[in-house]
Structure 1
Amino acid sequence: MKKNDFIVVIGTSAGGMKALTALIEQLPKDFPAPLLIVNHISPDATGDTLINALNKIGKLKCIHARHGERIKAGQIYIAPSDNHLMIEENGFILITKGAQENRSRPAIDPLFRSAATSFGNRTIGILLTGFLDDGTSGLIAIHRCSGICIIQDPADADYPDMPKNALNQIKPDYCIPIAEMGKTLSILVKRKPKKQIPVPEDITKEVKIAKRVLSDLPSVNSLGEQVPFNCPGCGGVLWKMSKGPDLRYRCHTGHAYTAAALLTEQTIKMEETMWTALRMFEERKNLLTTIAQDQKGAVAASAIERAKMSQVHIDRIRAILLSNDNSAITDSPL
């Protein structure tokens, strides 16, 4: 890539295939920038369906991103499943099994931050349809490194959470529907980049953590302050990030969460714990009932009473788990 060549990074989740095909279809075969895409997929998915769809509908070649490969203009790189996609300053691709961010791997934020630190003012970040708010922090990093930020108009998104949450935290250069993005990109990649500014140290540290280059307590301490709750991913201490307008948390092993993603993960853990407690109380009641049947006198009477108390706990837990609104264990995204 030449000195002033742009790089385009795109993040999406639910509804992503439809949005990506509509966007890629608009780009000309001589589009002068590489495009790196993170689309949230399950760990056991291959991503072939998306690649085949983009190759069929568009004029640019689309492939799985491969570790160590150097990016080329006019080519599309898709993050492989269960791996983060990142980009080095020299234009080489980095595929890593780093800790999940916002409950996802691949996640959007690691790609966006790595592009921001490596390409700075030559970075164009695009956030499309999806749930929750992965990508917001990465888009803020691109903005802080003098890159260009584009958010899909929420009214145009099948799932508007990601665009809406990003708009709550950052004023993008463009908030437009998919139908306008192809033309806009074609114009932007031919312009002179904005003035380059130094990359903030906290963004560089987060990129190093995601690359698994840096994972020590002093480094995370410098990014924020410890909070009195633990990381759902590993059980370690969490730090609240002090930089940027968005409320985020990170542990020293690399897991990272927005407030909404952390609340969702805590809710899932709570439900798992309650189902486990329900099973254990039921097993306890069954054991006590067996003891009561096989024993006599005071032993049997005590077992019967304790079985009745176990049933009380069973009824309480089941009422919470099976309530219509599940208000005790579920929360909507922030």
Structure 2
Amino acid sequence: MSERVLQGVVAVGASAGGVEALVRFAGGLPEDLPYAVLVALHVPASAPSALAGIVDRAGPLPATTAVDGERLEPGHVYVAVPNRHLLAHRGRVVVSKGPSENGHRPAINALFRSVAVNYQHRGVGILLSGVLDDGVLGLGAIRARGGTTIAQEPADALFPDMPCHAIEADVVDTEAPAAKLGQLLADLATRDLAEETILEPDKRMDLENRIAMGTHFSTEQDAERLGPPSGYTCPDCNGSLMELDIRSYRCRVGHAWTADALLKARDDEVEKALWIALRSLEEKVKLSRKMADRVGPTGIGQVYAAAAEEAEHAMNVLSDRLAEAIPPWGPLDE
């Protein structure tokens, strides 16, 4: 156990291109960092993660896979478990199977929000390489509670979408290359926070944080209190989404979506439906022609032949549409 006093908590979020950014970030951390560092990287739910070992070898600070309930210690890096949120709560780690956010668990927004609620001025949020906009609302929460927000310089990120979205949303205090972030944290550690002001609780932020700390299908928290019905449905559970503001939504069981992530989920749904339709039309053509050949040149045979021609025309139109929308090597998830 370290004898140093925990001065604050640094929450780090990354997605695509995040492993490289995290390696450079870890390599630049000072040995005497008085913060605990929590890292959430988007990974598939069923994938084994070697990230803690990679981060541990990359820099001077020990990095381990987060364990629910362990005490947060300065100079230690805690890495999220696949398919679990990583949160900070009252000086301890929380590993939760709360509702996914933007289709992710761990979710960067959930981690950042927990630091905003629990650490206010002593919280730091760092957003690294990634696509879409997970982490932007979380950085906004940290900033609103008096914390410090940092983004990897877009030119330094393999996938600059997440840092760019945060910068465009005006929720970033400072930008820096991943390798220089450790020096920024060392500088922040010298600040005098003796006269920091304790802020009044943010009821909505507190409720969202409690939702993330809950169980996968928990109904203890009423998400309907967060806002009016949006008229949209949740891609995860098909439940009604409540509109928190023009950029974010949450369903009754707690799944959270930003507007950009919701649009991407709809694109995925449409693409999947089109591929199913194309397969069904192809099977209809084959079956109709088989039936036409079986009954021969009769009236019913002509009906089958006409059905085959109609389905083939629709199949060709749909195939051309998909070819325009999808790279020639096929959909990325196949």
Q: Residues of 2 paired with 1:217 and 1:270: CA distance?
A: 33
Task: Look up the equivalent residue of 1:317 and give its one-letter code.
Answer: L
Q: After TM superposition, what 4+ stretches of structure 1 lie above 3 angstroms from structure 2?
A: 1-4, 213-219
The 5-angstrom pairing of residues 147-186 of structure 1 reads: 147-186=147-186
Q: For the residues of structure 1 that align with 2:28 and 2:292, how far apart are their CA atoms?
A: 74
Equivalences for residues 267-282 of structure 1 within 5 A: 267-282=267-282
Note the C-alpha offset of 1:206.
Answer: 0.9
| CA shift for structure 1 position 163 | 0.7
Matched residue, 1:311: 312
Given that residues 117 and 204 in structure 1 are in contact (C-alpha distance below 8 angstroms), is that contact kept between their aligned partners in structure 2?
yes
Q: Kindly tell me: are residues 268 and 171 of structure 1, through their superposed partners in 2, closer, same or farther at Cα, counting changes over 3 Å?
A: closer
1:195 to 194, 197, 204: 197
Give 2:9's aligned amino acid.
I
The 3 A distance-change label for structure 1 pair 70 and 119 is: same
Residues 146 and 196 of structure 1 are in contact (CA less than 8 Å); yes or no, is this contact kept in structure 2?
no
Letter matched to residue 178 of structure 1: A
The alpha-carbon deviation at position 223 of structure 1 amounts to 1.8
Q: Could you say what secondary structure the match of 2:35 adopts?
A: coil
**Alignment partners' CA distance in 2, 1:41 and 1:125:** 20
**Corresponding residue of 1:224:** 227
Supply the distance in 2 between the matched residues of 1:279 and 1:229 (Cα, whole angstroms).
28
Asked whether the equivalents of residues 120 and 199 of structure 1 are also in contact (C-alpha less than 8 Å), the reply is: no
What is the CA–CA distance in structure 1 between the aligned matches of 2:64 and 2:5, rounded to whole Å? 25
Task: Report the Cα distance in structure 1 between the residues aligned to 2:168 and 2:139, rounded to whole angstroms.
Answer: 12
The answer to whether structure 1 residue 63 and structure 2 residue 64 are counterparts is yes
**2:4–2:74 contact (8 Å) kept in structure 1:** no
Residue 249 of structure 1 corresponds to which residue in structure 2? 249
* Structure 2 contact 135–162 (Cα < 8 Å) conserved: yes
1:35 maps to 37
Question: Which structure 2 segments of 5+ residues have no match?
Answer: none
The separation in 1 between residues aligned to 2:237 and 2:32, in whole angstroms, is 46
Matched residue type, 2:243: K
1:72 — aligned with what?
73
> What is the distance in 2 between the residues matched to 1:304 and 1:21?
62
Equivalent residues of 1:229, 1:237 under 8 A apart:
yes
Matched, 1:211 2:213: yes
What's the RMSD between the two structures over aligned residues?
Answer: 2.3
The one-letter code sitting in structure 2 at the alignment partner of 1:138 is G
Note closer, same or farther for the CA distance 1:88–1:2 as it changes in structure 2 (3 Å cut).
farther
Task: Give the Cα–Cα distance (whole angstroms) in 2 for the partners of residues 26 and 313 of structure 1.
Answer: 57
- Three-state SS of the structure 2 residue aligned to 1:323 is helix
Question: Which residue of the other structure, out of 5, 10, 20, is the alignment partner of 2:12?
Answer: 10
Q: Would you say the 8 A contact 1:133–1:166 is kept in 2?
A: yes
How many pairs are equivalent? 322
| Distance across 2 between alignment mates of 1:31 and 1:217 | 38
Structure 2 residue aligned with 1:140 = 140
CA contact (8 A) 2:30 2:183 kept: no
In 2, the alpha carbon distance for the partners of 1:157 and 1:301 equals 61
For 2:87, what is the secondary structure of its paired residue?
Answer: strand
Shift of 1:2: 8.8
The CA distance in 1 between the partners of 2:317 and 2:54, in whole Å, is 49
Distance in 2, Cα, partners of 1:207 & 1:230: 22
Q: Is the 8 A contact 1:4 1:192 kept in 2?
A: no
SS at structure 2 position matched to 1:229? strand
Q: In structure 2, do the counterparts of structure 1 residues 218 and 22 end up closer, same or farther at CA, with 3 Å as the change threshold?
A: closer
Q: Under a length normalisation based on structure 2, what TM-score does the superposition of the two structures give?
A: 0.89
Q: Distance in 2 between matches of 1:136 and 1:197?
A: 21
The equivalent of 1:236 in structure 2 is: 239
TM-score (norm 1): 0.89
Amino acid at match of 2:222: S
